[in-house]
Structure 1
Amino acid sequence: MDTPMIDLAAVRADTPGCRRGVFLDSAGSSLPPVQVLDEVVGHLRREAEVGGYVAHDERLPDLEAGYGLMASLLGCEPDEVAFTDSATRSWLAAFDAVPLTAGDRVLVTEVEYAGNAIPLLRRAAEVGATVEPVPSTPAGEIDVAALREMLDERVALVSLVHVPTNGGLVNPVAEVAEAAHEVGALVLLDACQSVGQLPVLASELGADIVSGTGRKWLRGPRGTGFLVVRRPVLERLRPRQVDLRSGTWISPDSYELRADARVFELWESSTADRLGLLAAARYALDLGVDAIADAVLARAEHLRAGLAEVPGVEVHDLGTNRCGIVSFTVADREPEQVRAELAARDVTVTVTGVGSTQYDMTRRGLPEVVRASPHYFTSPDQLDEAVAAVAALKR
């Protein structure tokens, strides 16, 4: 069956911000559609009228239905979904619950993100565990054959970044999960840069835990995140950041934690932002995740091809399978200078540096790259405009 195409005119009409210059930073914080904006602002106005508690209670049916909505998006069961205030909070809460002791090993990819690497290294040092990067293939993905050589019964966790922050490759999740499970290791998938631009179905990928955010490719509000914890592994985890949302105080000296993924939720949260996240998930599901993936990849390949034709521009994307992140440098200009000069031409990009992905960028000798990330609402004409703006820098 053919994948339906994105109606470019319709999604641009839903995205007023995309008509103000060329927006190429959905890998940072994307432009929300009006459906998300209306949900967030509308609920904030309702809170101003009746107070936060009453306004929250009015939307309880929608909030409860949100678990099923996110389960549809993420390929899991509703009781395997938890909501948080960021991808960072999701990842940290899950990682903190993974039992680690002296002698344990944690395997990571060479595209591991700094937000994960720092807590990994700190906790490993505290308990006497080790953090070890798995070599990459020449194409840049995790080398599954090398992973299998490194796996043994001491490996407690494989931390897998689905899509790195600094380039367009997509790591092979299912193959990694299959290998890790053969030795009983847990797989924690950082899907921060993949949910919203790629199909991320936990039931098919085989990851035990999946963390993600609303603000990037999903086009939700900032301050929103989610976590998938599969039922079979929940009993192996020991959540430590718990409160009255995570459990019940049943007597003066005893409590009982929840038996589902909501044990990772905290009581205080933004109802308006949660509703906005659900609106973003609904918008993505209505468009079709496969259609989104096709459109995003087409935009990225259009941009890569255009940039590759500009003298002095080098595209640095790796990967056999690629996605919507395009990384490049311009000869004789620092990436931050490129970002600023493009901003003056109403082209929004960002810069990512070695401090975000030490293993990969040190290995490749790249201190910084310019990162462009077009979404499906970016028109081909705008991509050509961005390429022309980069070419003009050389003149």
Structure 2
Amino acid sequence: MTALTLAEVQQLRDETPGCLSGIIHFNHAGASLPSQSTLDAIIDQLQREARDGPMEAGEQGAILAENARSAAAQLLNAPTSSIAFASSGSTAWSMAFQALGPWQPGDRILVGRHEWGGNLASMQTAVQAGAQVEVIPCDETGAVSLAGLESMIDKKVRLIDLNWLPANSGLINPAQAIGQLAKRHAIPYFIDAGQALGQLPVDVQALGCDVLKGSGRKHLRGPRGTALLYVRPGFLKHLNPAQRDVFSAPWSPDGFDLRNDARRFETSEVSFALLAGLGNALQEINRLGVERVRQRIQLLSRIVRDELHQIDGITLHELGIAEHQSGLIAFNLAGVDAFELKRRLGLKRINIGANGVPYTPLDMQARGLESIARISVSYFNTIEEIEHLVETLQLLAKEP
């Protein structure tokens, strides 16, 4: 595997309108910058609909959607039939979770301390039915403890859910090892891969998960309003979606039967334009090679972390093993609220993220954090952009 060259990075930047606008973007974990060809794919489909009629252009739109499905399957090492599309990662996860019901009093749901707030909100229907959401202990690095998880397992456990790359630290949880444990005990296993897709290799066969979801707008560089849902083919029979229409449960003389693939989670009304853009973004990262992407993100994020350590007043909120962290860097600047810091950097045309307690409530409360600022790098960021970010943070740190 060869590393991304500077010439390749520059070409990627030349093909990305956001890189040509003067903005320095370090908020890829919130939403990354799409390429011009991704924008073109969206616009082409919209123009086709305007020219030929929205319904009449649907035939070509359906072809583009299936191209996106094939590209997603390639990225995940999954059968094409196991891929569904949704409007957001939270929607995808919630649909799969609700389809697991009905829940019974005493059912147990085991989650990592880093669980996404949206997933916890979806679990409240199960809690109202009498199920319990229980937090798996962390190990000494802050990751989900395999030994702690094993000690919690009994016949009442209905689900193990993992947030693979939490939104508020550089942690990469041991997703594959947890999958092996879940399989050994025959417990359904969901993975929230919202920050993983497009940042590191995701092989659902190796992970051993039953369900995995991820957003299109983050590291995949797809459009907002798109997400992927993977459902293991053998697990599909256990999922009974609450929402159905003539697409997910087509009519036959014998009645309305659910599809026998992951498209039982889709509906007849969909934005083919957005899926055309998502398909292009997926094809781009497949061509580029996600291993090469991961290598460059590791390099750049290591530089950012080293530089932040040198700035007086900055505290990093890192979890996990230093040599095995994601491109998400959580920190605070003394005396400056995280959202205010985001605003000040934005005025200088530098984009970062900021998260409050609702994003990862269990972990934020456990660590006594009210908010964190977040730098998230992508493979087409540059050393020069990092230097400018660091210089700006140094100046802000000296302000009264």
From 195, 200, 204, the equivalent of 1:193 is 195
The reply on whether 1:332 has 2:331 as its aligned counterpart is: no
* 1:232-279 alpha-carbon deviations (Å, 9 max, x no partner): 11111222111111111224x821111111111111110000010000
Equivalent-residue separation in structure 2 for 1:36 and 1:149 (angstroms): 47
Could you state the TM-score of these two structures normalised by the residue count of structure 2? 0.95
Deviations for 1:297-336, whole angstroms, at most 9, x for unmatched residues?
2111111111111011111121122111011101111112
**Which of residues 376, 383, 387 is equivalent to 1:384?**
387
Partner amino acid, structure 1, of 2:74: S
The structural deviation recorded for 1:3 is 5.1
Change (3 A) 1:21 1:60: closer
Which residues of structure 2 form unaligned runs of 5+?
none
Alignment of structure 1 residues 1-395 onto 2, 5 Å: 1-2=1-2, 5=5, 7-19=8-20, 20-99=22-101, 100-120=103-123, 122-251=124-253, 254-320=255-321, 321-395=324-398
**Residue 118 of structure 1, CA deviation:** 1.1
CA distance in 1, matches of 2:168, 2:203: 23
How far residue 4 of structure 1 moved from its aligned partner, in angstroms, is: 5.3
**Could you tell me how far 1:182 is from its partner in structure 2?**
2.3
Structure 2: which amino acid aligns with 1:61?
A: I
Q: Which amino acid aligns with 2:110?
A: L
Shift of 1:170: 0.7
Instruction: For residue 213 of structure 2, give the secondary structure of its aligned residue in structure 1.
Output: strand
Deviation at 1:36, TM superposition (A): 0.5
Work out whether residues 2 and 292 of structure 2, in 8 Å CA contact, stay in contact via their aligned partners in 1: no
SS at match of 1:135: coil
For residue 35 of structure 1, report the CA deviation from its aligned partner.
1.1
How many equivalent pairs are there?
393
SS of 2:247's equivalent in the other structure is: coil
One-letter identity of the residue aligned with 2:297: V
Paired residues of 2:114 and 2:360 also in contact (CA < 8 A): yes
CA separation in 1, counterparts of 2:206 and 2:179? 10
**Which runs of no fewer than 5 residues in structure 1 stay unpaired?**
none
Report which stretch shifted further, 277-286 or 17-26: 17-26
- TM (norm. structure 1) is 0.96
C-alpha deviation, 1:372, in angstroms: 0.9
Letter in 2 for 1:324: G
User: In structure 1, what is the Cα distance between the partners aligned to 2:386 and 2:12?
Assistant: 16
Shift of 1:21: 2.5
- State the Cα distance separating 1:168 from its structure 2 match: 1.2
Contact 2:62 2:272 in 1 (8 A): no
Give SS of 1:328's match.
strand
- Taking the aligned partners of 1:69 and 1:336, their CA distance within structure 2 comes to 36
Classify 1:27/1:208 alpha carbon distance in 2 versus 1 (closer, same or farther; 3 Å).
same
Distance 2:64 2:357 in 1: 42
What is the letter of the counterpart of residue 274 of structure 1?
L
Root-mean-square deviation (CA), in Å? 1.4
**Alpha carbons of structure 1 residues 59 and 135: separation in structure 2 relative to 1, 3 Å:** same
Secondary structure of the 2:283 match is helix
* In structure 2, distance between residues paired with 1:21 and 1:127: 48
